[in-house]
Amino acid sequence: METITPKKSFSINDAPIADNLKPITNDQRHVGIFAYMSMWLGDGFNIGNITLGSSLVVAGIATMNLLQTLLAAGIAIFIISVIFAFNDRFGYITGSPYVIQLRLSFGKVGAKFASLLRGIPAIVWYGFQSWTGALALNQILKIFTNGNFSNTAICFVILQIIQTLIALKGFKSIKVVTSVVSVIVMLALFSIFVLLIVQHSSVIQTKLIDVKGSWGLTFFSFIIAFLGNYTAIFESAADYSRELRPNLSNKYRGLLYFIPICFAYGITIVTGAMLAAVTGISSPVNAMAQIFNNNVITMLVSAFIILGVITTNSVANIMPPTYILTSLFKLPQNLAIMLVSILAACSFPWLLVQNSSSAGLAIFIRSYSVFLGPMTAIILIEYYIERRQIVHLNNLYNDDKLETVKWNAPIALAIGALAALAQVDLSWIIGFFIGGIAYLILNRIHKENRIL
């Protein structure tokens, strides 16, 4: 009689996928509460957020007053924290990263291409942050050499090498760096904030507080810009929460986002607006060099800017696209990290901010928000409404169980993005609601396999 050998049941360990994309177990999670909050403090106290604040001022004229700026930032920060707390749950419960989360709604191949919508903005941000850090490093070397050295491009390459080496050491090294540096950068930028108020209160009063500003489209478009600045990060919340130690409630984790982001993001946005109002220069590095006009202070401030760049890129802009490249091309993680660094250098980051205006940065944020607004709605609806938080990981990692492309999600994404294009200044919120509604309707019209 012929003997039939039973087929071996599928295990995640058998999945043809890179090890760094497989679930992290509870005993492998070593990021504690302080380190996690430090990550978001370090991410909030960064030159990009200061630059976004400076975009409120064009050629020395504020488009919103201080009250409007604070209210717009507050609304954005509240929405950011709420979405973070909801969207981090997939990674926190399953231990799997964002590129795997996308498989739920987009399918095994669709998820790879959808992940590019998160990866490309991160790479551009990486390049932009590094370029502004290079401007600061150039300031230091120029002072050290008494003006004999001035080459931002070389400084840019140096910073890219340093950040790549930190990332190659893995998430543990990122945790250590951000825990220490975020506190230093926080104290430095808070000192700049206080100095501006003490030394230039009359100019700030005239150019930022007493201006009429706008409660119309400008006000709401800056809410979207402030929100859009974080949309790529909270979209891939699973990449971070999977590293956080277990047994923390949803409300508790929500505070781990809200407290540091509220403090750091609020101060940096207002500091950027004050710098631009006082100096008329939108590039924070050049504005600080002019306003302090003291070599020692300029060197200290520039050093803190560089540290802020390193922490921000380590947290938000290196690992997410690394996971994406690993998933797309099955690259070793170290090779993917180095490739991300090269791609960031090829993004022409020096074009986003000029001395006269940083409007290019705000336009860039609103542009990628066209796609990430509906994407956020789709992944939240899929996890909370369609699946009610029930996910079988073995099926999710088993290519034989997954559809190649699940078309409801990309169609809804396209509908949301097209709707957002009608008013780019409000791109994220329009795309979020239209894309989300379209996804719900499509799921009722065409039932897809939920691999439950």
What pLDDT is recorded for position 287? 82
More confident residue, 2 or 357: 357
What pLDDT is recorded for position 401? 82
What's the pTM value of the predicted model, to 2 decimals?
A: 0.82
Note the pLDDT tens digit of each residue in 220-270. Answer: 988 888 888 788 889 999 999 999 999 998 888 999 999 999 988 888 899
Band of residue 106 on the pLDDT scale cut at 50, 70, 90:
very high
* Average pLDDT value for residue range 91-117: 92
- Cβ burial of 224 (10 Å; 0-12, 13-18, 19+) is buried
Band of residue 360 on the pLDDT scale cut at 50, 70, 90:
low
Instruction: Provide the CB-side half-sphere exposure for 366 (13 A, CA).
Output: 23
Domains and CATH numbers, the chain: 29-352 (1.10.4160.10)
pLDDT exceeds 70 at position 9: no
* Average pLDDT value for residue range 380-408: 90
What pLDDT is recorded for position 173? 58
Note the pLDDT tens digit of each residue in 132-190. Answer: 889 889 989 999 898 898 899 999 999 999 999 888 876 565 656 666 666 777 777 78
Out of 147-156, 281-290, 434-443, least confident range: 281-290
Note the pLDDT tens digit of each residue in 26-46. Answer: 888 888 898 888 888 877 877
What pLDDT is recorded for position 245? 92
pLDDT exceeds 70 at position 451: no
Compute the radius of gyration of the chain from its Cα atoms.
Answer: 22
Give me the phi and psi of 244, to 5 degrees please.
Answer: -80, 140
* Average pLDDT value for residue range 408-428: 92
Cβ within 8 Å of residue 40, ≥6 positions away = 256, 257, 260, 261, 264, 315
pLDDT exceeds 50 at position 114: yes
CA distance 326 to 324: 5
CA distance 56 to 278: 13
SS3 62: strand
What pLDDT is recorded for position 357? 46
